[in-house]
Amino acid sequence: MSIGIVGYAFSASLFLLFSVLLLTSWRGRIEGTFLLIASVTSACWALTAVAFQVQESALTVSTYQLFEIAKNLAWFGFLFRLLKTLKEAAGSASGAMVYAPSAIFTVSAVLIGVELLAQSFPIVRSWGGTASLQLVGHLGFALAGLVLIEQLFRSTRPEMRWAVKYLYFGMGTLFVYDLFLYADALMFKQVDTTLWQARGFTSALVVPFVAIAATRNPSWSVRVFVSRQVVFHATTLLFAGAYLVLMAAVGYYIRFYGGTWGKATQIVFVFAGVCFLAATLFSGTLRGKLKVFVNKHFFSYKYDWRDEWLRVVQTLSDGRGGDEIRTRVIQSISDSVDAGGGYLWMQDNNGRYQCTSRWQAPGLNLAIDVKEELITYFTRSDWIIDLDEWASLPGRYDNLEIGEQLIGVEDAWLIVPIKHHEILIGFVLLIRPQSFRSINWEDRDLIKAAAKQAGSYLVLLQTSEALNQANQFEAFNRLSAFVVHDLKNLIAQLELVAKNAERHRNNPAFMDDAVKTIGNAVNKMGRLLAQLRQGRFESSKTEQFFIEESVAQAVNELYGYSPKPNLTINDDFLKIIADKDRFTAVMIHMIKNAQEASQANGRVSVSVDRIEDNAKITIEDNGAGMDEAFIKEKLFRPFQTTKGNAGMGIGVYETREYVSSLKGSLTVESERDVGTRFTISIPLIPSAESTGHHSATAEAKL
């Protein structure tokens, strides 16, 4: 079998396959019709060339000549249709664009007439020079084709050349080869057999270029679609097959020339090659690079959007709990660009953005204040921040300043905002993938789509958690009704005691103290009753007082419990405006918590300091401590407690809410089996008077 038969058969197979793809995806557009006709005609031309080589006869020669003319006409028709479309899109264009196609078509028609005349009438064929006349006709087709390609390229707008450049390149290559073939034949008065046989392979090379152009032009209505997974796996198998063939060839060479060691060396070589191939195919880096290669060179769009959207929805839907959904949010966005992992920041009750979740990344405890530039930037824009681009071209991000702690995260790559109805829910920091890659507009669109879907899930999660918390508070309010009933009875009893005590006027000092004590108890319980009825703790009265006095009072009340609290007042005259009774109750609760968390022989220390215009109260113990997960997820949530049935789990939550109402803050540092430190910071009353300062260490006593 000659190489010419193989080449033309290969060309016919490719054109037939391309025609089938066109036929199954064609929707009746005129450009698709012309392209389909050109492809089918080219396949028939290649098949007649095969038949001509198998058995040369007058019939096969005439058929081949007619199909070559038909092939040229079909491709000219398709190219003329594209030129007409460009002319209509351009409107009033240059004169060359209007008249050049007509001139080219006229020359082509004359040449076609010469071809048909030479083929159809024996009397003309008997004239001298008819063979040269046929060659001139074929040469004219090649010249006309090149001129037409040049016209098309010049008439295509620069931004549109990306879609059709492969068509121009493929058809231009075909016409250049024909020009060379028939110019050589005209010079030597006969067609060179070798050049003509190689023509089958050159025409086959045109098919991939035309197919790529077809995928990039939806207006042709030729949606040549092959799944990315199919192309990826087919490419992998192709490379693997070529590799195995190469290994087999080298192994055969080793066996043939290896002498007595040849067969054993061949076996070892082939086995090592197979092991290397298996290890390579399991490489994530290689798969990532191969995906980039396939998407870049075989498809007009980088992603299969249907598959990507289904993947995002499936990933998010698999999350069943709050923490799992947050982790799934990171995973769904990370998988869009093959990121190595990531972190999620969400806003807490204090307005700060806390790192709440992570996926395939080490632990990170980092909070972002709502006033930082990054949050402001994301509030007004949903642009994804590429940290590499931000470092080299900060002007593209309005010279945004990002905190050193955030950009210092190992392998930090992209920062993606998550919004819902233009409200910033949080943001995700993606970790750089194993293999280097850059992102383009399509990557950004996919990430934004995944982030929008993730934002809906996060908002739904927040709503669900808020509803659950509201239900818990409702249960707490129902429980409070029983407490209110008991308090009523207690108040009634105390009122009766106060009335009976008035009879004992013989001891005025005793009676005055008793009345005062009981009256205060009645006032306190009445105020608590009103607050419980409202379902929240509100201050009924505010006054100016010194913090150190309230803290000392709390320490004195708890001094009878073990371990005894040790009070250190480093600054005094720290005045605030608040409900002194409630503030003292908060201090009692926090100190009591420290005592309950420690052993009887443990240590509980309380200190009062002044930091600029704020009072700082530190309560520290060396008790059991808490882990980071409990602090982040449960400590400040209502009804979460480590005391079992002994506690309701609302003390620390209520303390933080009350301190926040005073424009203060509550922070905690703790470690398992080491201890816990609570720090309360509260703004002081601005005063023009100088405050006294002394350093004293006092042990409160009952």
Flag whether pLDDT at 566 surpasses 50.
yes
* Residue 482 placed within a domain: no
Shared domain check, 442 and 402: yes
- The CATH number for 610's domain is 3.30.565.10
**Band of the pLDDT at 504, cuts 50, 70, 90?**
low
Flag whether pLDDT at 252 surpasses 90.
no
Its sign, for the CA torsion 176, 181, 187, 189, is: negative
pLDDT at 502: 65
Tell me which of 298, 319, 350 is where a domain ends: 298
Shared domain check, 395 and 494: no
Shared domain check, 374 and 322: yes
User: How many Cα atoms are found within 13 Å in the side-chain-facing hemisphere of 211?
Assistant: 21
In this prediction the pTM is: 0.41
**Band of the pLDDT at 409, cuts 50, 70, 90?**
very high
Is the distance from CB of 575 to CB of 684 less than 8 angstroms?
Answer: yes
Flag whether pLDDT at 83 surpasses 70.
yes
Tell me which of 200, 220, 240 is where a domain ends: 220
* Residue 495 placed within a domain: yes
| Residue 671 vs residue 245, higher pLDDT | 671
* Residue 622 placed within a domain: yes
Once rounded to an integer, what is the mean pLDDT over residues 559-572?
88
* Residue 483 placed within a domain: no
Number of domains in the chain: 5
Once rounded to an integer, what is the mean pLDDT over residues 187-207?
85
Distance CA 104, CA 404 (A): 66
Shared domain check, 261 and 365: no
DSSP readout, 255-292? HHHSGGGHHHHHHHHHHHHHHHHHHHHT-HHHHHHHHH
- Mean residue pLDDT of the chain comes to 76
- Nearest by Cα to 366 from 410, 406, 323: 406
Shared domain check, 211 and 121: yes
| Residue 256 vs residue 623, higher pLDDT | 623
Shared domain check, 456 and 314: yes
Distance CA 684, CA 143 (A): 91
Token output for 668: 């905690």
**Band of the pLDDT at 384, cuts 50, 70, 90?**
very high
Cis bond leading into 563, ω under 30°? yes
Shared domain check, 207 and 74: yes
Shared domain check, 548 and 651: yes
Domain encompassing residue 584: 543-698
Shared domain check, 426 and 454: yes
Is the distance from CB of 153 to CB of 57 less than 8 angstroms?
Answer: no
Flag whether pLDDT at 621 surpasses 60.
yes
pLDDT at 416: 95
**Band of the pLDDT at 689, cuts 50, 70, 90?**
very low
pLDDT at 552: 93
Share of the chain above pLDDT 70, in %: 65
Interval 306-322: pLDDT, tens: 788 888 888 888 766 66
pLDDT at 344: 94
Token output for 415: 């920062």
pLDDT at 146: 84
- The CATH number for 316's domain is 3.30.450.40
**Band of the pLDDT at 286, cuts 50, 70, 90?**
low
Is 477 exposed, middle or buried (CB count within 10 Å of its CB: 0-12, 13-18, 19+)? middle
Tell me which of 507, 534, 561 is where a domain ends: 534
- The CATH number for 126's domain is 1.20.1070
Is the distance from CB of 12 to CB of 71 less than 8 angstroms?
Answer: no
Distance CA 432, CA 410 (A): 9
Shared domain check, 525 and 574: no
Shared domain check, 55 and 204: yes
**Band of the pLDDT at 254, cuts 50, 70, 90?**
low
Quick one: DSSP state of residue 393? -
Calculate the CA 503 to chain-centre distance: 80
**Band of the pLDDT at 170, cuts 50, 70, 90?**
confident
- State which amino acid sits at residue 108: S
Interval 641-685: pLDDT, tens: 555 444 445 668 778 888 988 899 999 999 888 899 999 999 998
- State which amino acid sits at residue 676: T
**Band of the pLDDT at 155, cuts 50, 70, 90?**
confident
- Nearest by Cα to 462 from 420, 499, 502, 431: 420
Shared domain check, 199 and 55: yes
pLDDT at 507: 63
Lowest-confidence pick of 144-148, 322-326, 351-355 = 322-326
| Residue 475 vs residue 399, higher pLDDT | 399
The region, left, alpha or beta by phi > 0 then psi within -120 to 50, assigned to residue 339 is beta
Angle 253-254-255 from CA coordinates, rounded to 5°: 90
Share of the chain above pLDDT 90, in %: 15
The total number of residues written for the chain in this structure: 702
* Residue 629 placed within a domain: yes
Flag whether pLDDT at 478 surpasses 70.
no
Token output for 589: 């609760």
pLDDT at 234: 58
C-alpha distance from residue 593 to each of 115, 440, 639, 682 (Å): 104, 54, 15, 20
pLDDT at 629: 82
Calculate the CA 409 to chain-centre distance: 18
| Residue 64 vs residue 271, higher pLDDT | 64
